[in-house]
Amino acid sequence: MISIGIDVGSVAAKIAAYDGEKIIATGLLPTGWSPKGVGEQLLEEILEKIKTPKKKVKSIIGTGYGRVSLPFVDKKITEITCHGRGAYYIDPAIRTVIDIGGQDSKVIKLNSEGMVTDFLMNDKCAAGTGRFLQVMANALEIDIDDLSHLAAKAEPANISSMCTVFAESEVVSLVAEGTPKEKIAAGLLHSVCNKTYSLVNKVGIEDKVFFSGGVSRNKKLGELLEEKLGVKIISTDESQFIGAIGAAILGY
């Protein structure tokens, strides 16, 4: 028997299948306008991928902001719990999870059994999230995936505002003044790093630290966080799928 976890975020929807010992498959699609539709599509695709009929699935767990739109799941669990359990699966020694997604960022503390003991979420605005970086990338007329390598060796320009609207105006002004895009990209990543650092400080940090969510793919931001926090930060190819992985494991 297998269990399946579906994590529908504001930008991307992720899915994972678990056989009781290991994650055997994952999948990802843009969330688009229909969380229910993308959830159904992911489920259909992963069942085909693992050659398993739905009737042989032990349970399907929904998580993420779009979990309320998944009527076909057996249970809905918060992303806080799922990200904690997913990180614990990657490494049982992990005690702090930094998750930066499309619409919010959060810091989660775990105990030795992988249970959540404390957390703090920034969900009041887009500051320091994937949405913030997407808007800024659009203002720079670059792909969001280009931010990391653009910023790799540049001195950061000063981005004084974390409000998405005001920061976008700053970026437009910097471009008009002839500031190199490399320096602007570096300034943006430093801004997100500082915002995340502030969030982590309010909860406290305990080694080991795991970086999850779509923004974890930004290598340069991970390096900045390591330097700012003074700890090694773990990030893997599975980081973006951690919510779905945790949901699948909890479902089993």
Give pLDDT, residue 58. Answer: 96
The DSSP element (H or E) to which 7 belongs, if any, is strand 2-8
Give pLDDT, residue 124. Answer: 66
The pTM (predicted TM-score) of the whole model is 0.92
List per-residue pLDDT tens for the chain, 252 residues long. 999 999 999 889 999 999 999 999 999 999 988 999 999 999 999 999 999 999 899 999 999 989 999 999 999 999 999 999 999 999 999 999 999 988 889 999 999 999 999 999 986 677 788 888 999 999 999 998 899 999 988 899 998 887 888 888 999 999 999 999 999 999 999 999 998 999 999 999 998 999 998 899 999 999 999 999 999 999 999 999 999 999 999 999
The DSSP element (H or E) to which 87 belongs, if any, is helix 79-90
Give the sheet arrangement for strand 105-110, strand by strand. 116-122, 105-110, 96-100, 209-212, 233-234
List, in sequence order, the alpha helices (H) in 154-231.
164-176, 181-203, 219-229
The dihedral region occupied by 20, where left means phi > 0, alpha psi between -120 and 50, and beta the remainder, is left
What is the phi/psi pair of residue 74, to 5°?
-80, -25
Domains annotated for the chain, with CATH where assigned, are 2-124+195-251 (3.30.420.40)
Give pLDDT, residue 123. Answer: 64
Rounded to the nearest 10 degrees, the angle between the axes of helix 181-203 and helix 164-176 is 160
Nearest to 98 by CA among 245, 250, 244, 242: 242
First vs last C-alpha separation in the chain: 9
Cis preceding linkage at 208, omega within 30:
yes
Give pLDDT, residue 165. Answer: 84
What is the phi/psi pair of residue 17, to 5°?
-120, 140
Distance CA 239, CA 112 (A): 20
Distance CA 212, CA 209 (A): 10
In a 13 Å sphere around the CA of 5, the CA atoms on its Cβ side amount to 33
pLDDT in tens, 108-131: 999 999 999 999 998 667 778 888
Give pLDDT, residue 90. Answer: 96
